[in-house]
Structure 1
Amino acid sequence: MERVCPLCPADISPASEGNQRVLTITMTLPVIAIVGRPNVGKSTLFNRIAGSRIAIVSETPGTTRDRVSVDAEWFGRRFMLIDTAGIEDQPSAEVQLWDEVRVQTERAIETADAVILLVDSADGVTASDFDAADLLRRAQKPYALAANKTDNTTRMAELYTFAALGMGEAIPISAYHDIGITELMDTVLAHVDDRFEDDTPDDVIRVAIAGRPNVGKSAIFNALTGEERSIVSPVPGTTRDTVDAVYEYKDNHMMFLDTAGLRRRGKTEQGIEKFSAIRTIGAIERSDVTVIVLDATEFVTAQDTHIGGFAQDAYKAGVVVVNKWDLRGEVDTTFEEAVVEIRDRFKFIPDAPMLFTSALTGRGIRAIPDAVRRTFSQFIKRVDEAELSRTLYAALGDRPLPAKGRRRPRISGIEQVSVRPPTFVITCKNPESLHFSYKRYLENRLRESFGFKGSPIRMFYRGGN
């Protein structure tokens, strides 16, 4: 990782160098939540609605990849879809109490513009269904009642039993078999305003400042922009809407995206913790560069790597900021030890710039916009085609592919197809036979030749001669 020595003189805020607010942008994405008791098929329905957008995987161990929300689209209508099923995936799920799921359900209903209440037609009406329906009624949020696993005539005939919930007529669906999903979504979206708009200029660098509570995100934001942090919602009663401000810094426009709301609620279960990160995930997915803020007094925690994992999943560039470095004595960590530890824990963000700051004194703050600019330049880097081919063939020459076997792979070319992040397609005969270690080797050779510091790169292997 790149790093900035914390022993330099105290920096002044970039805001004092002439930063200028140039415009304010309101961005609101409607939220639809799927709620219900455990094991009614919420995750299956979530994946059915989200489609391939949710199929993001990682081979890096030690980081959480379970997604609780996704920026989804249904026939041109954009919205954030929330799954509250995470608590079902915990160990000892058979002894989980409904009270734990109830906390998730209450939070989901509070956050959402519209709610899908999912019940199970195979089980019929249960006491937990009545409890969920009662929560939804008290919240007075628009909803649709969906009876999942209605995939035969017997269960269809028993749908009338759900009238006892007092939630109107249940829509018969089967998330697994893709039955009734269109009718369900038409019903839900009829309650949701299509009010998402994004008029951000194309040259703006979107920066998400993400981190655990009390690591100094707002203080860093205030120091960078030169004004007190103010979260403004154009819709009364909501907590998810943000007003993102664009600032000019050294001829670059940067929009700092709000990540307020990432909260670990005491000793809550993992599912609740993940659910409370919805706004942070949304901001990261909208960003180009994610600034991951750590607390020097607590150093790297599991939740810090979870946040870094969100950025990795979304293929966003990353900058690591260790804030409160002036208080580092509380953990008795030297600069060199900190660098080694952070590099090891965030190895899934290769060579990300690493900064040591104190938002309270202003030390190191000036380096953040410059690090963002450098990392963004790697995120949008396009490589010369001839240089790219030479690098590939040099890598093949230094470490030849296996020469034996009927299904041995053969690589014949490479091209860069896009940026944000840099994306490459390698033409390869029998790509399924190419070992993952060789794929990692090729990625490392590209990084050695062209940098991409702090930026992910994507590599696809296309079959062909």
Structure 2
Amino acid sequence: MAKLPLVAIVGRPNVGKSTLFNRLVGKRLALVDDRPGVTRDRREGDANLLGLDFRVIDTAGFEEDDPETLPGRMRAQTQAAVIQADVALFLIDSRAGVTPLDEEIARWLRSGDTPVILLANKAEGRAGESGVLEAFGLGFGDPVPFSAEHGEGMADLFEALLPHIDRPDDGSEEQEEEEPAEDGPLKLAIVGRPNAGKSTLVNRMLGEERMITGPEAGITRDSISIDWEWQGRPVRLIDTAGLRRKAKVEDKLERLSAADTRHSIDFAEVVVLLLDATRGLEAQDLRIADQVLQEGRALVIALNKWDVADNPPALFQGVRAALDEGLAQVKGLPLLTVSAFTGRGIDQLIDVAFQTRDAWSRRVSTGQLNRWFERAIEQNPPPAPGGKRIKLRYLTQARTRPPSFVLFGTRVDQLPESYRRYLVNGIRRDLGFGAVPVRLTVRAPRNPFDR
């Protein structure tokens, strides 16, 4: 498939960059709030504007600060996005007019080689007319009056983008359609408490400073999806905001970030729960793990900062025992040790993630399943509550991802939870599902005389 052109959105804080990003991708992917500086890392998404396909990058607000500060590190991410883009959309707030920071950004953009389209945002009505006129002085030709909030000016933006984005001809489109479809990328989400090292781990995997990192807790706000390749196999990495205990979350923006992380878990295939080895396993880690399993996602646990951990053997055994006790429904979850700082253990982590996805996607034939089922019942027959026998007839796999099974029989509504766990544990152990979440529902045949 042909690589899509890259379009970067730049501008000072709070001019509507994330609103424009959401408008172009057709979804509310980027967090939007009235306060400035919500976006920190650069987020990418596939956009379509009146039939024009491209990849759009939402960037942090451009601020003049020391490179070592958080705003300075955010600016470095914005600069990297513009350098790699085919064209930059420079947003100003037409209602506020051209500010000194707008002029500073314009000077920086003029010094580079990336073509620039000037968008005068918030131009709906007459309140933005003076700002549009001021924008002529920035030196990028005619500004495009636009409203990201209301979708006004989309046709003008299309016309401005067209010279910078090559549209594939019919032949290339047909060629793309004829290519055989490959297995989709491994959708791998990295989750955990704040400051566990999630963004540092993603940067180490990618081999570049793609995500903003630092000693401050809670730097990452949006869930950022990045396409990557590991040993020739496609991976979609998802870096997420740290999850704190709900009772500690009071800020609206942190609630939005937490909701974005939960949304990413829903759409992941494998979730890596990253623990801080210097702090061990905490109650919040178990809550996050339980949430992942409740959503039916495959789960891998990774102990980060292993290069600076105290008494590693005892720490590993203690975490292993605590996981098996706290997550008794899926004993034996993969537990690995990594160092995002040195890169130790990352190849093993990705390899285990692929193996875990294979188990999560596994389907067992009905014949194999019921041969196992007959042996399981023979070794441990179901109980007879009240002296009345529960008759289990057969078992079938209804779906995969997560593996889900339906058990048919009579009086199955009285089947004890302990016996269901016996069956689920046996399915995991004997049929190759490992420690992925397995769902089992019971169903009795309908009684024709029951009204």
Cα 1:345–1:419, aligned 2, differ >3 Å: closer, same or farther?
same
**1:385-439 CA deviation, whole Å, 9 max, x = no partner?**
2111011111111111235747642110111111101111111212211111111
Q: Between the two proteins, what is the percent identity of the paired residues?
A: 34
Give, as a single letter, the amino acid of the residue that structure 1 aligns with 2:349: I
Structure 1 residue 209 displacement after superposition: 0.2
| d(CA) in 1 for partners of 2:208, 2:399 | 36
1:374 maps onto 2:374 in alignment: no
Spell out the pairing of 1:52-67 with structure 2 (5 A cutoff).
none
CA contact (8 A) 2:202 2:211 kept: no
**In structure 2, which of residues 390, 402, 405 is the aligned counterpart of residue 424 of structure 1?**
405
Aligned to 1:442: 423
| d(CA) in 2 for partners of 1:435, 1:365 | 42
Spell out the pairing of 1:253-264 with structure 2 (5 A cutoff).
253-260=234-241, 262=243
Structure 1 residue 250 displacement after superposition: 3.0
Spell out the pairing of 1:139-178 with structure 2 (5 A cutoff).
none
**1:338-377 CA deviation, whole Å, 9 max, x = no partner?**
3323333343443221111111111111211101001000
| d(CA) in 1 for partners of 2:28, 2:435 | 31
1:204 maps onto 2:202 in alignment: no
Spell out the pairing of 1:53-452 with structure 2 (5 A cutoff).
203-230=184-211, 243-260=224-241, 262=243, 276-329=257-310, 333-403=314-384, 405=386, 408-452=389-433
| d(CA) in 2 for partners of 1:404, 1:432 | 11
| d(CA) in 1 for partners of 2:183, 2:444 | 34
Give, as a single letter, the amino acid of the residue that structure 2 aligns with 1:229: R
Structure 1 residue 305 displacement after superposition: 1.2
SS of structure 2 residue aligned to 1:411: strand
The two structures, once aligned, show a CA RMSD in angstroms of 3.6
Structure with greater contact order relative to length (CA < 8 Å, sep ≥ 6)? 1
Question: Which structure has the bigger radius of gyration?
Answer: 2
Give, as a single letter, the amino acid of the residue that structure 2 aligns with 1:316: R
| d(CA) in 2 for partners of 1:24, 1:206 | 23
SS of structure 2 residue aligned to 1:337: helix
Cα 1:202–1:442, aligned 2, differ >3 Å: closer, same or farther?
same
**In structure 2, which of residues 418, 434, 438 is the aligned counterpart of residue 453 of structure 1?**
434
| d(CA) in 2 for partners of 1:333, 1:278 | 35
Cα 1:242–1:336, aligned 2, differ >3 Å: closer, same or farther?
closer
SS of structure 1 residue aligned to 2:374: helix
**Mean alpha-carbon deviation: is it higher for 251-260 or for 334-343?**
334-343
| d(CA) in 2 for partners of 1:266, 1:402 | 42
| d(CA) in 2 for partners of 1:382, 1:274 | 38
CA contact (8 A) 1:263 1:273 kept: no
Give, as a single letter, the amino acid of the residue that structure 1 aligns with 2:367: A
CA contact (8 A) 1:264 1:276 kept: no
SS of structure 2 residue aligned to 1:277: helix
Cα 1:272–1:249, aligned 2, differ >3 Å: closer, same or farther?
closer
Structure 1 residue 337 displacement after superposition: 3.1
CA contact (8 A) 1:349 1:454 kept: yes
Cα 1:210–1:230, aligned 2, differ >3 Å: closer, same or farther?
same
| d(CA) in 2 for partners of 1:358, 1:294 | 11
CA contact (8 A) 2:202 2:239 kept: no
Give, as a single letter, the amino acid of the residue that structure 2 aligns with 1:30: R
SS of structure 2 residue aligned to 1:366: helix
Q: Which runs of 5+ in 2 are unaligned?
A: 7-20, 32-148, 152-180, 213-219, 447-451
Give, as a single letter, the amino acid of the residue that structure 1 aligns with 2:342: T
| d(CA) in 1 for partners of 2:224, 2:316 | 36
Q: Which runs of 5+ in 1 are unaligned?
A: 1-21, 34-190, 194-199, 232-238
CA contact (8 A) 1:290 1:316 kept: yes
Aligned to 1:124: none
| d(CA) in 2 for partners of 1:371, 1:267 | 33
1:463 maps onto 2:425 in alignment: no
Give, as a single letter, the amino acid of the residue that structure 1 aligns with 2:422: Y
Structure 1 residue 229 displacement after superposition: 2.5
Give, as a single letter, the amino acid of the residue that structure 1 aligns with 2:192: G
TM (norm. structure 1) is 0.52
SS of structure 1 residue aligned to 2:344: coil
**Mean alpha-carbon deviation: is it higher for 340-349 or for 313-322?**
340-349
**1:128-153 CA deviation, whole Å, 9 max, x = no partner?**
xxxxxxxxxxxxxxxxxxxxxxxxxx
SS of structure 2 residue aligned to 1:253: strand
Aligned to 1:30: 28
